[in-house]
Amino acid sequence: MDRSDAVARFTRMEDGTKEDYEVLERIQQPFTDELADRVLEHLRQLEGSYGGMLVDRLAHSLQTATRAHRDGRDEEYVVCALLHDIGDMLATHNHADLAAAILKPFVSERNLWIVEHHAIFQGYYFWHHVGADRNAREKYRDHPHFDDTAEFCALYDQCSFDPDYDTLALEHFEPMLRRVFAKPKWTEYGA
């Protein structure tokens, strides 16, 4: 195919035509369809990054998801558990925000809130040791998902640094991740 047939012809978006945007939509779809592959690849990049812990970041993510899965949580919740720290490598100081941004189109408001706020809730377990306020999460006490987020951290996140835990492999979670990422619940330009 001649490249000139496979591109929009505008140089300013306001000058684009319906045909231009149809071309873009057609070209973009395969890239969109590969999102789950890119997310899985980024998860794999967490392997070998220990950050001073007994397990690397991938093992921590897998343990968190394994615990949630074994506890009978639904696939969306398990995928959120798997991806909750995916932002560690690129958003060192706000990793939860990056994880939430990736998950936002695909998950419920409740699960999104858990992922987006888990870092401040996780601080309850260690911030007092590093001169920070372990009770910082209390500013969210009246939020409807406060207890859900505290539970996520207590049951799945804070306890998932065990090198001897029988952790499921990433391949176990791949079909779940693909199903969750198969169709967004919303997009930037509507449902």
Domain ranges of the chain: 35-180
Residue with tokens 């369809």: 33
Please tell me the predicted confidence (pLDDT) of residue 186.
75
Low-confidence ranges of the chain (pLDDT < 70): 1-5, 188-191
CA distance linking residue 191 with residue 141, whole number of Å? 31
- The per-residue pLDDT for 1 is 44
Residues 110 and 135: their CA atoms lie apart, in Å, by 21
Distance CA 119, CA 149 (A): 10
> In the numeric block, which tokens belong to residue 30?
């395969």
Rounded (10°) angle between helices 95-103 and 75-83: 140
Q: How far apart are CA 30 and CA 24, in angstroms?
A: 11
DSSP 157-176: ITT---TTS-PPPHHHHHHH
Residue with tokens 């500013």: 139
Residue 187, strand partner residues = 190
Distance CA 102, CA 85 (A): 11
Give residue 4's pLDDT: 52
Query: What pLDDT was estimated at residue 188?
Result: 65
Fold exhibited by the domain 35-180: Hypothetical protein af1432 (1.10.3210)
Q: Which residues contact 131 (CB under 8 A, 6 or more apart)?
A: none
Distance of CA 157 to the CA centre of its chain: 14
What's the whole-model pTM score? 0.90
Report in angstroms the alpha-carbon separations of 134 from 57, 87, 127, 146, 150. 22, 22, 5, 15, 13
What is the distance between the alpha carbons of residues 71 and 51, in angstroms, rounded to a whole number? 27
